[in-house]
Amino acid sequence: MKICTTVKEMHAAAHAARREGKRIGFVPTMGALHEGHLSLVRAAKAQSDTVVVSIFVNPVQFGPNEDLNRYPRPFERDRQLLENEGVDFLFAPSAEEMYPAGAITYVTVEGLSEKLCGKSRPRHFRGVTTVVAKLFHIIEPDLACFGQKDAAQAAIIRRMVRDLHLPVEIVVCPIVREPDGLAMSSRNAYLDPQQRRSALVLSRSLGRVVEVFGKGERNSDRLIEVGKQVFEDEPSVRLDYFEIVDPETLEPVVTVRGAALVAVAAFAGTTRLIDNTVLQP
Ligand code: PAF
Protein backbone atom coordinates (compact mmCIF):
# COMPACT_ATOMS: atom_id res chain seq x y z
CA MET A 1 0.00 0.00 0.00
CA LYS A 2 1.40 3.34 -1.01
CA ILE A 3 0.89 6.25 1.39
CA CYS A 4 0.38 9.68 -0.17
CA THR A 5 0.51 12.77 2.02
CA THR A 6 0.32 15.54 -0.57
CA VAL A 7 -2.47 16.49 -2.95
CA LYS A 8 -0.05 16.45 -5.87
CA GLU A 9 1.20 12.93 -5.10
CA MET A 10 -2.33 11.54 -4.61
CA HIS A 11 -3.66 13.22 -7.73
CA ALA A 12 -0.78 11.85 -9.83
CA ALA A 13 -1.19 8.31 -8.43
CA ALA A 14 -4.94 8.27 -9.11
CA HIS A 15 -4.38 9.74 -12.57
CA ALA A 16 -1.82 7.02 -13.38
CA ALA A 17 -4.22 4.28 -12.24
CA ARG A 18 -6.99 5.73 -14.40
CA ARG A 19 -4.64 5.91 -17.41
CA GLU A 20 -4.06 2.17 -16.98
CA GLY A 21 -7.83 1.71 -17.30
CA LYS A 22 -8.37 1.01 -13.59
CA ARG A 23 -11.76 1.67 -11.97
CA ILE A 24 -11.10 3.58 -8.74
CA GLY A 25 -13.08 2.89 -5.56
CA PHE A 26 -12.72 5.40 -2.74
CA VAL A 27 -13.50 5.28 0.99
CA PRO A 28 -13.16 8.59 2.86
CA THR A 29 -12.59 8.19 6.62
CA MET A 30 -11.35 10.09 9.64
CA GLY A 31 -9.40 7.01 10.82
CA ALA A 32 -9.88 5.16 14.13
CA LEU A 33 -11.09 2.39 11.85
CA HIS A 34 -13.55 -0.30 12.91
CA GLU A 35 -15.47 -3.08 11.16
CA GLY A 36 -17.91 -0.52 9.74
CA HIS A 37 -15.09 1.19 7.84
CA LEU A 38 -13.64 -2.15 6.77
CA SER A 39 -17.04 -3.17 5.34
CA LEU A 40 -16.84 -0.03 3.15
CA VAL A 41 -13.32 -0.94 2.05
CA ARG A 42 -14.51 -4.45 1.11
CA ALA A 43 -17.47 -3.01 -0.83
CA ALA A 44 -15.11 -0.65 -2.70
CA LYS A 45 -12.73 -3.51 -3.45
CA ALA A 46 -15.53 -5.71 -4.77
CA GLN A 47 -16.59 -3.05 -7.27
CA SER A 48 -13.30 -1.54 -8.44
CA ASP A 49 -9.72 -2.35 -9.47
CA THR A 50 -7.86 0.20 -7.34
CA VAL A 51 -8.93 1.16 -3.82
CA VAL A 52 -8.02 4.49 -2.24
CA VAL A 53 -8.79 5.19 1.44
CA SER A 54 -8.31 8.61 3.00
CA ILE A 55 -7.64 9.25 6.67
CA PHE A 56 -8.16 12.88 7.49
CA VAL A 57 -9.64 14.31 10.69
CA ASN A 58 -11.34 17.22 8.98
CA PRO A 59 -11.18 20.26 11.31
CA VAL A 60 -13.84 22.14 9.33
CA GLN A 61 -16.61 19.68 10.26
CA PHE A 62 -16.06 20.06 14.02
CA GLY A 63 -17.77 22.79 16.03
CA PRO A 64 -15.78 24.97 18.48
CA ASN A 65 -16.76 22.86 21.52
CA GLU A 66 -16.56 19.48 19.84
CA ASP A 67 -13.98 16.69 20.05
CA LEU A 68 -11.48 17.66 17.30
CA ASN A 69 -8.48 17.57 19.62
CA ARG A 70 -9.35 14.35 21.39
CA TYR A 71 -10.58 12.51 18.27
CA PRO A 72 -8.66 9.19 18.25
CA ARG A 73 -5.75 9.02 15.75
CA PRO A 74 -4.27 5.48 15.93
CA PHE A 75 -2.49 5.88 12.59
CA GLU A 76 -0.19 2.84 12.75
CA ARG A 77 -3.07 0.51 13.67
CA ASP A 78 -5.23 1.96 10.88
CA ARG A 79 -2.40 1.61 8.37
CA GLN A 80 -1.98 -2.05 9.27
CA LEU A 81 -5.73 -2.75 8.99
CA LEU A 82 -5.84 -1.18 5.52
CA GLU A 83 -2.72 -3.05 4.46
CA ASN A 84 -4.42 -6.31 5.55
CA GLU A 85 -7.47 -5.43 3.41
CA GLY A 86 -5.28 -5.02 0.33
CA VAL A 87 -5.89 -1.28 -0.08
CA ASP A 88 -3.75 0.22 -2.87
CA PHE A 89 -3.40 3.84 -1.73
CA LEU A 90 -3.77 5.56 1.62
CA PHE A 91 -4.20 9.32 1.39
CA ALA A 92 -3.26 10.91 4.71
CA PRO A 93 -2.78 14.66 4.22
CA SER A 94 -2.18 17.26 6.91
CA ALA A 95 -4.75 19.99 7.64
CA GLU A 96 -2.41 22.56 6.04
CA GLU A 97 -2.25 20.45 2.88
CA MET A 98 -6.04 20.19 2.58
CA TYR A 99 -6.73 23.79 3.61
CA PRO A 100 -3.99 26.06 2.25
CA ALA A 101 -3.52 29.20 4.35
CA GLY A 102 -6.33 31.63 3.64
CA ALA A 103 -8.74 29.05 2.15
CA ILE A 104 -12.24 30.57 2.18
CA THR A 105 -14.13 28.36 -0.29
CA TYR A 106 -16.84 26.00 0.97
CA VAL A 107 -19.38 23.69 -0.63
CA THR A 108 -22.82 23.79 0.99
CA VAL A 109 -25.91 21.76 0.20
CA GLU A 110 -28.38 24.38 1.34
CA GLY A 111 -31.44 23.32 3.26
CA LEU A 112 -30.42 19.70 3.77
CA SER A 113 -27.35 20.73 5.77
CA GLU A 114 -29.54 22.28 8.47
CA LYS A 115 -31.57 19.08 9.02
CA LEU A 116 -31.09 16.34 11.66
CA CYS A 117 -27.48 16.62 13.01
CA GLY A 118 -27.18 19.95 11.17
CA LYS A 119 -29.58 21.51 13.71
CA SER A 120 -27.30 20.97 16.69
CA ARG A 121 -24.04 21.00 14.67
CA PRO A 122 -24.57 24.14 12.55
CA ARG A 123 -21.53 24.00 10.21
CA HIS A 124 -20.92 20.28 10.37
CA PHE A 125 -22.34 19.26 7.00
CA ARG A 126 -20.77 22.24 5.25
CA GLY A 127 -17.43 20.91 6.51
CA VAL A 128 -18.26 17.39 5.31
CA THR A 129 -19.35 18.43 1.81
CA THR A 130 -16.36 20.75 1.44
CA VAL A 131 -13.82 18.07 2.30
CA VAL A 132 -15.60 15.34 0.32
CA ALA A 133 -15.77 17.62 -2.75
CA LYS A 134 -12.02 18.29 -2.39
CA LEU A 135 -11.27 14.58 -2.01
CA PHE A 136 -13.42 13.72 -5.04
CA HIS A 137 -11.56 16.38 -7.02
CA ILE A 138 -8.13 15.07 -5.97
CA ILE A 139 -8.87 11.36 -6.45
CA GLU A 140 -11.58 11.46 -9.14
CA PRO A 141 -12.99 8.09 -8.05
CA ASP A 142 -15.50 6.12 -10.11
CA LEU A 143 -17.32 5.15 -6.94
CA ALA A 144 -17.20 6.19 -3.29
CA CYS A 145 -18.54 4.23 -0.31
CA PHE A 146 -20.27 5.75 2.72
CA GLY A 147 -21.98 4.16 5.73
CA GLN A 148 -25.73 4.20 6.28
CA LYS A 149 -25.06 5.07 9.95
CA ASP A 150 -24.58 8.68 8.82
CA ALA A 151 -27.79 8.60 6.79
CA ALA A 152 -28.10 12.40 6.60
CA GLN A 153 -24.48 12.67 5.44
CA ALA A 154 -25.16 10.07 2.71
CA ALA A 155 -28.27 11.97 1.54
CA ILE A 156 -26.40 15.29 1.50
CA ILE A 157 -23.48 13.84 -0.45
CA ARG A 158 -25.83 12.20 -2.96
CA ARG A 159 -27.45 15.60 -3.44
CA MET A 160 -24.09 17.38 -3.84
CA VAL A 161 -23.00 14.84 -6.46
CA ARG A 162 -26.28 15.29 -8.34
CA ASP A 163 -26.30 19.09 -8.16
CA LEU A 164 -22.63 19.48 -9.16
CA HIS A 165 -22.76 16.77 -11.87
CA LEU A 166 -19.85 14.96 -10.23
CA PRO A 167 -19.05 11.75 -12.15
CA VAL A 168 -18.93 9.48 -9.11
CA GLU A 169 -21.29 6.70 -8.04
CA ILE A 170 -22.24 6.87 -4.35
CA VAL A 171 -22.53 3.46 -2.69
CA VAL A 172 -24.16 3.40 0.75
CA CYS A 173 -23.37 0.32 2.85
CA PRO A 174 -25.43 -1.11 5.76
CA ILE A 175 -24.79 -0.17 9.39
CA VAL A 176 -22.40 -2.58 11.12
CA ARG A 177 -23.38 -3.31 14.73
CA GLU A 178 -21.72 -4.79 17.80
CA PRO A 179 -23.27 -8.17 18.79
CA ASP A 180 -25.52 -6.37 21.34
CA GLY A 181 -26.86 -3.93 18.72
CA LEU A 182 -24.74 -0.79 19.29
CA ALA A 183 -23.93 0.79 15.93
CA MET A 184 -20.16 0.82 15.40
CA SER A 185 -18.57 4.25 15.69
CA SER A 186 -15.08 5.58 16.33
CA ARG A 187 -16.65 7.61 19.15
CA ASN A 188 -17.73 4.42 21.02
CA ALA A 189 -14.11 4.38 22.28
CA TYR A 190 -14.97 7.39 24.51
CA LEU A 191 -17.66 5.46 26.44
CA ASP A 192 -16.95 4.12 29.93
CA PRO A 193 -18.52 0.71 30.74
CA GLN A 194 -21.67 2.28 32.25
CA GLN A 195 -22.15 4.65 29.28
CA ARG A 196 -21.48 1.76 26.89
CA ARG A 197 -24.39 -0.17 28.47
CA SER A 198 -26.68 2.89 28.49
CA ALA A 199 -25.86 3.65 24.85
CA LEU A 200 -27.88 0.59 23.83
CA VAL A 201 -30.97 2.72 24.34
CA LEU A 202 -30.46 4.12 20.81
CA SER A 203 -30.76 0.79 19.00
CA ARG A 204 -33.43 -0.38 21.49
CA SER A 205 -35.61 2.66 20.75
CA LEU A 206 -35.32 2.05 16.99
CA GLY A 207 -36.19 -1.62 17.52
CA ARG A 208 -39.31 -0.59 19.43
CA VAL A 209 -40.39 1.74 16.59
CA VAL A 210 -39.88 -1.06 14.04
CA GLU A 211 -41.97 -3.38 16.23
CA VAL A 212 -44.89 -0.94 16.53
CA PHE A 213 -44.61 -0.08 12.82
CA GLY A 214 -44.78 -3.84 12.11
CA LYS A 215 -48.10 -3.95 13.98
CA GLY A 216 -49.51 -1.38 11.57
CA GLU A 217 -48.85 2.06 13.13
CA ARG A 218 -48.15 4.58 10.35
CA ASN A 219 -48.50 7.90 12.20
CA SER A 220 -45.03 9.43 12.70
CA ASP A 221 -45.91 11.36 15.87
CA ARG A 222 -47.08 8.16 17.54
CA LEU A 223 -44.04 6.20 16.32
CA ILE A 224 -41.70 8.96 17.57
CA GLU A 225 -43.49 8.92 20.93
CA VAL A 226 -42.90 5.17 21.22
CA GLY A 227 -39.19 5.66 20.48
CA LYS A 228 -38.84 8.55 22.95
CA GLN A 229 -40.55 6.54 25.71
CA VAL A 230 -37.68 4.03 25.59
CA PHE A 231 -35.31 6.89 26.51
CA GLU A 232 -37.33 7.57 29.68
CA ASP A 233 -35.95 4.29 31.11
CA GLU A 234 -32.38 5.52 30.52
CA PRO A 235 -32.24 9.04 32.00
CA SER A 236 -28.41 9.15 31.87
CA VAL A 237 -28.64 9.38 28.06
CA ARG A 238 -29.78 12.79 26.82
CA LEU A 239 -31.81 12.75 23.62
CA ASP A 240 -30.79 15.29 20.95
CA TYR A 241 -33.41 14.39 18.34
CA PHE A 242 -35.72 11.56 17.36
CA GLU A 243 -37.19 12.14 13.90
CA ILE A 244 -38.89 10.36 11.04
CA VAL A 245 -37.95 11.91 7.72
CA ASP A 246 -37.86 11.31 3.99
CA PRO A 247 -34.49 9.58 3.30
CA GLU A 248 -33.65 11.92 0.39
CA THR A 249 -35.06 15.34 1.37
CA LEU A 250 -34.73 14.81 5.16
CA GLU A 251 -38.12 16.55 5.49
CA PRO A 252 -40.37 15.25 8.31
CA VAL A 253 -42.85 12.58 7.27
CA VAL A 254 -46.37 12.81 8.75
CA THR A 255 -47.67 9.40 7.72
CA VAL A 256 -45.31 6.64 6.66
CA ARG A 257 -46.41 5.64 3.16
CA GLY A 258 -43.03 5.08 1.45
CA ALA A 259 -39.53 4.44 2.79
CA ALA A 260 -38.95 6.58 5.89
CA LEU A 261 -35.76 7.20 7.84
CA VAL A 262 -36.05 6.97 11.63
CA ALA A 263 -33.01 8.86 12.93
CA VAL A 264 -31.87 9.35 16.51
CA ALA A 265 -29.00 11.26 18.14
CA ALA A 266 -28.24 11.30 21.86
CA PHE A 267 -25.47 12.06 24.34
CA ALA A 268 -24.02 9.38 26.62
CA GLY A 269 -21.97 11.64 28.91
CA THR A 270 -20.34 14.08 26.50
CA THR A 271 -20.25 11.57 23.64
CA ARG A 272 -22.74 12.22 20.88
CA LEU A 273 -24.01 9.04 19.25
CA ILE A 274 -26.27 8.54 16.24
CA ASP A 275 -28.24 5.61 14.85
CA ASN A 276 -31.07 5.02 12.42
CA THR A 277 -33.27 2.53 10.64
CA VAL A 278 -35.40 2.68 7.50
CA LEU A 279 -39.10 1.79 7.69
CA GLN A 280 -40.35 0.14 4.53
CA PRO A 281 -44.15 -0.26 4.26
O1 PAF B 1 -18.02 10.00 7.82
C2 PAF B 1 -16.88 10.46 8.06
O3 PAF B 1 -16.01 9.81 8.66
C4 PAF B 1 -16.56 11.89 7.63
O5 PAF B 1 -17.66 12.71 7.77
C6 PAF B 1 -15.99 11.96 6.20
C7 PAF B 1 -17.01 11.48 5.16
C8 PAF B 1 -14.73 11.11 6.10
C9 PAF B 1 -15.62 13.40 5.85
O10 PAF B 1 -14.66 13.91 6.71
pTM exceeds 0.95: yes
Residue nearest atom 9 in ligand 1 by C-alpha distance: 128
Task: Report d(CA 98, CA 278) in Å as an integer.
Answer: 35
Among residues 11, 15, 34, 37, which one is catalytic? 37
Task: Report d(CA 252, CA 247) in Å as an integer.
Answer: 10
Task: Report d(CA 218, CA 255) in Å as an integer.
Answer: 6
Task: Report d(CA 18, CA 4) in Å as an integer.
Answer: 17
- For residue 196, the model assigns a pLDDT of 98
* Ligand 1 mean position, distance from CA 227 (Å): 27
What parts of the chain have a pLDDT lower than 70?
Answer: none
| Cα-to-chain-centroid distance, residue 122 | 16
> Is the CB of 58 inside a 6 Å radius of any atom of ligand 1?
yes
Q: Provide the H-helix boundaries in the chain.
A: 7-19, 35-46, 75-84, 95-98, 117-120, 124-139, 151-163, 193-198, 200-214, 220-232
Residues 6+ apart with CB under 8 A from 172: 145, 146, 147, 148, 154
> Is the CB of 30 inside a 6 Å radius of any atom of ligand 1?
yes
- For residue 140, the model assigns a pLDDT of 98
> Is the CB of 130 inside a 6 Å radius of any atom of ligand 1?
no
- For residue 50, the model assigns a pLDDT of 98
Task: Report d(CA 154, CA 150) in Å as an integer.
Answer: 6
Backbone φ and ψ for 233, nearest 5 degrees, come out as -80, -5
3.40.50.970, 3.40.50.2300, 3.30.1300.10, 3.10.150.10: CATH of 186-275: 3.30.1300.10
* Ligand 1 mean position, distance from CA 281 (Å): 30
- For residue 83, the model assigns a pLDDT of 98
> Is the CB of 57 inside a 6 Å radius of any atom of ligand 1?
no
Tell me the pLDDT tens digit for each residue of 45-91.
Answer: 999 999 999 999 999 999 999 999 999 999 999 999 999 999 999 99
Domain 2-173 part of CATH 3.40.50.620 = yes
> Is the CB of 82 inside a 6 Å radius of any atom of ligand 1?
no
Distances (CA, A) of 34 to 38, 40, 60, 128, 184: 6, 10, 23, 20, 7
Which DSSP letter does residue 175 get? P
Residue nearest atom 5 in ligand 1 by C-alpha distance: 128
The full set of domain ranges for the chain reads: 2-173, 186-275
Task: Report d(CA 273, CA 281) in Å as an integer.
Answer: 27
Active site residue 37: yes
Task: Report d(CA 265, CA 281) in Å as an integer.
Answer: 24
